Amino acid sequence: MKKLVNDVHEVVRESLEGFQLAHSDLVDVHFDPDYILRAQPKEEGKVALVSGGGSGHEPLHGGFVGHGMLDAAVPGAVFTSPTPDPIEAATRAVDRGAGVLYIVKNYTGDVLNFETAAELCEMDDIEVRTVIINDDVAVEDSLYTAGRRGVAGTMLVEKIAGAAAERGDDLDEVTRIANEVNDNMRSMGLALGPCTVPHAGKPSFDLGDTEVEMGIGIHGEPGYRRTEMKTADELTAELYEKVRADLPFVQGDRVIVLVNGMGATPLSELYIVNRKVHELLKADGIVAERTLVGDYVTSLDMPGASLTLLRVNDEMLELFDAPALTAGYREGM
């Protein structure tokens, strides 16, 4: 294994230190327990958004802390949920009297630990709501979760709900919007190869040189089938059809398209995937209102890609277009 690390047990700590040094104008990183805050918190009365999960998915979640998105992110060890203590500490740090919304990917450890932190905070009259993200259409009841996994669409929930909180919506309304986004989006990914978790020192699964795993999870969990390598258009069409049929998306729908890299796929290849997605959308009479292409929710060094479609209305588009200033995403600032 060749990686730019010093000590496999210090990867998260040293990465957070480097993240702070690179983005001190945007974030304030706390240690023991570990959590990331906005460097310039909003005034009293703003709903706070907190998310988090295992490290290894950067820029999710810490890269989306800042104006118009998250107020705090809580990183666990690589592919491991943070414990309740740092989640509770981050929640107390960002509460401004208007309540806190947790945005939690549907993995068992994340759900349980955020739930425990919420109970601890509510004992001191901090109102906490939780939205569970479950946008993955590939499999039910995976290695890490009961029900569908939360994957790349998490970023869209953080952006749109974050904009709602930034404009001053109350906790009920921010929660409603976050749930509406989650209910109207679907995602699926593929892997061309495995990722390598630093402390494991070897690939997380075996995949032949000519094989592709369809429906992969963001921790290297298996998908729904393994197939021989095909052209980019053929693989993209399978992703698209699975995603389109699940909601289902129909003629006349307006969507935001997210073509997401898994960490080791060149941007040039992601644009080839995006090209095919837009061709298929046009053929189905579905309007692509906005498009994001790049690494937003990764799986360390995994080669692969995922597709997310979010059915939108005017309000969602307005919130998606609202200004944001974070290390991992910027809009209008």
- Per DSSP bridges, beta strands 100-105 and 254-261 are unpaired
Instruction: Give per-residue burial for 231-250: e unless 16+ CB within 10 Å, then b.
Output: eeeebbbbbbebbbebbebe
Task: Point out the residues that are catalytic.
Answer: 57, 219
Q: What are phi and psi of 95, to 5 degrees?
A: -60, 125
Q: Cα(50)–Cα(172) distance, rounded to whole angstroms?
A: 15
> Would you put residue 125 in left (φ > 0), alpha (ψ -120 to 50) or beta?
left
Q: Cα(144)–Cα(92) distance, rounded to whole angstroms?
A: 28
Q: What residue ranges in the chain does DSSP mark as E strands?
A: 27-30, 35-38, 48-55, 66-67, 72-78, 100-105, 128-133, 185-191, 211-214, 225-228, 254-261, 287-294, 304-311, 324-326, 330-331
Radius of gyration in angstroms for the set of CA atoms belonging to the chain, rounded to a whole number: 19
Nearby residues of 150 by Cβ (< 8 Å), 6 or more positions away: 104, 105, 106, 107, 132, 133, 134, 135, 136
Task: Taking the CA atoms of 38, 41, 42 and 45 in sequence, report the sign of the dihedral they define.
Answer: positive
Nearby residues of 4 by Cβ (< 8 Å), 6 or more positions away: none
Taking a C-beta distance cutoff of 8 angstroms, is the pair 320, 290 a contact?
yes
The position carrying tokens 């802390």 is 65
